[in-house]
Amino acid sequence: MRIKLNNPKLFVDEILSLQNLSLKEFSKRMRINYSSLKQTRRGERTFTEEIFNIFINLSPRKEYWNNNKEELDDNWGGVKGGNISAKMLDKYNRAEYARRFRKLVNVNIILNEFFCEFYGALLGDGCISRFEDYEHKKRIVIAFSGNKRLDSEYFKYLASKLKEEYGLGVYFYEVKNKNVCTLVIKNKNFSLNLHNNFGVAIGLKYNSLHISNKVLNLPWNIKKFVLRGLFDTDGCTLANKREKYRYPWVTISSKSEYFRNQIIKMLREQGYPAYNTGSDVCVRGIANVKRWFSDIGSSNSRNILKYEYFLKHGCLPARLL
């Protein structure tokens, strides 16, 4: 039989105080294993009947502790462990059963306006990541990370459109106490399709960043949405203080020179006077910026609000948002 107490520490300490002994000294005197006694005092183990009888005979409150003890069978720990294991196994089996019937959405990519916009956003601020989960299964996901204050509404827009166009399960998170938001798309087929057929790298992308010929060969009224996606993730509208913020320009940033040159070529083919400066592709001038917003446009409110401010006030000061 085993004895369980609600407050074994108090029970033991009352006796140690009365005997004026430390736990280690008491274990030596009574020839009780010190390590086991520490665990029993902390409540990690129950008392054997023999050990409990030693303590109760020395206790100043025998009647109280005898009335507040719980007597357990010797195999109670095994039974408890077995019940826990059975529950865990049942939970695991139910999860495995559910996974067996979970339908993975097979995405049929159509080269339309939204796909090009999403593709541009992915090349700008997204990535495809491969990792091993807690079950040691290999996972591939698409992820975007942005500024919670400026990008949350845009990520929600992408999430809504992905569900509408492809029926994808999309997860949007805003990190508590941090100015970070994240969008995650968990669909292996979609991720591999983008990798195998449209050249989106898995992992670090900058050394291989490019726009697929499948997209470049599309007509302008469709492929221009790639530029919208890039602008809404890695682009902005700004103006120079020296010019009193009166002459705005549109920029798209990238570390990849090859990728920037692809963007410049796309724009110049349509008559935009695009040029490269540092790590930015720029289109400058009031008329060109107005044309950009009427032709290519934006789905990100931070870009739209800045442009509307410029139209109303005739200037675009720094730190507007």
Helix H or strand E encompassing 267 = helix 257-269
Same domain, 143 and 203: yes
Q: What's the pLDDT at 69?
A: 85
Helix H or strand E encompassing 232 = helix 220-234
Under 8 Å between Cβ of 212 and 280:
no
Q: Would you say residue 224 lies in a domain?
A: yes
Residue 176, domain CATH: 3.10.28.10
283: left (phi over 0), alpha (psi -120 to 50) or beta: beta
Identify residue 319 by its one-letter amino acid code.
R
Number of neighbours of residue 108 by Cβ within 10 angstroms: 9
- End position of a domain, from candidates 21, 53, 76: 76
Q: State both tokens at 311.
A: 């139209």
Same domain, 57 and 135: no
Same domain, 134 and 271: yes
Same domain, 159 and 289: yes
Q: Would you say residue 288 lies in a domain?
A: yes
Q: Would you say residue 270 lies in a domain?
A: yes
Residues 6+ apart with CB under 8 A from 209: 123, 201, 254, 255, 256, 258, 259
Q: What's the pLDDT at 21?
A: 87
Same domain, 59 and 124: no
- End position of a domain, from candidates 76, 103, 122: 76
Number of neighbours of residue 32 by Cβ within 10 angstroms: 18
Residue 29, domain CATH: 1.10.260
* Helix, strand, or coil (residue 311): helix
Q: State both tokens at 315.
A: 């200037």
Alpha helical stretches, state H, 68-177: 76-101, 113-125, 148-166
Same domain, 59 and 170: no
Same domain, 266 and 215: yes
Same domain, 33 and 159: no
Same domain, 70 and 165: no
Residues across the chain:
321
Same domain, 40 and 121: no
Q: Residue 226 to residues 1, 67, 136, 247: CA-CA distances in angstroms? A: 74, 77, 36, 25
Q: Would you say residue 81 lies in a domain?
A: no
Under 8 Å between Cβ of 147 and 84:
no
Q: Can you state the percent helix, strand and coil of the chain, rounding each to 5? A: 55, 20, 30
Q: Would you say residue 101 lies in a domain?
A: no
The per-residue DSSP string of 159-177 comes to: HHHHHHHH---EEEEE-TT
Specify which residues 184 forms β-bridges with: 143, 171
Q: Would you say residue 241 lies in a domain?
A: yes
Q: What's the pLDDT at 27?
A: 86
- End position of a domain, from candidates 76, 104, 122: 76
* Helix, strand, or coil (residue 254): coil
Q: What's the pLDDT at 210?
A: 95
Q: Would you say residue 90 lies in a domain?
A: no
Closest residue by Cα to residue 251 from 237, 263, 241: 237
Domain range for 28: 2-76
Same domain, 58 and 141: no
Under 8 Å between Cβ of 113 and 119:
no
State the total domains in the chain. 2
Residues 6+ apart with CB under 8 A from 304: 298
Render each residue's pLDDT in the chain as its tens digit; 321 residues: 788 888 888 988 888 888 888 988 888 888 888 888 888 888 888 888 888 888 888 888 888 888 888 887 765 554 454 454 445 555 555 555 444 445 566 788 899 999 999 999 999 989 999 888 777 788 899 999 888 889 999 999 999 999 999 988 889 989 888 899 999 998 989 999 999 999 999 988 778 899 999 999 999 999 999 999 999 999 999 999 999 999 999 999 999 999 999 999 999 999 999 999 999 999 999 999 999 999 999 999 999 999 999 999 999 998 877
Instruction: Return the residue matching tokens 């789905």.
Output: 299
Q: What's the pLDDT at 86?
A: 47
Q: What's the pLDDT at 85?
A: 47
Helical packing angle, 8-19 and 49-58, nearest 10°: 50
Q: Rounded CA gap, 161 and 156, in Å?
A: 9
Number of neighbours of residue 103 by Cβ within 10 angstroms: 5
Q: What's the pLDDT at 192?
A: 93
Same domain, 120 and 55: no
The per-residue DSSP string of 49-63 comes to: HHHHHHHHHH-TTHH
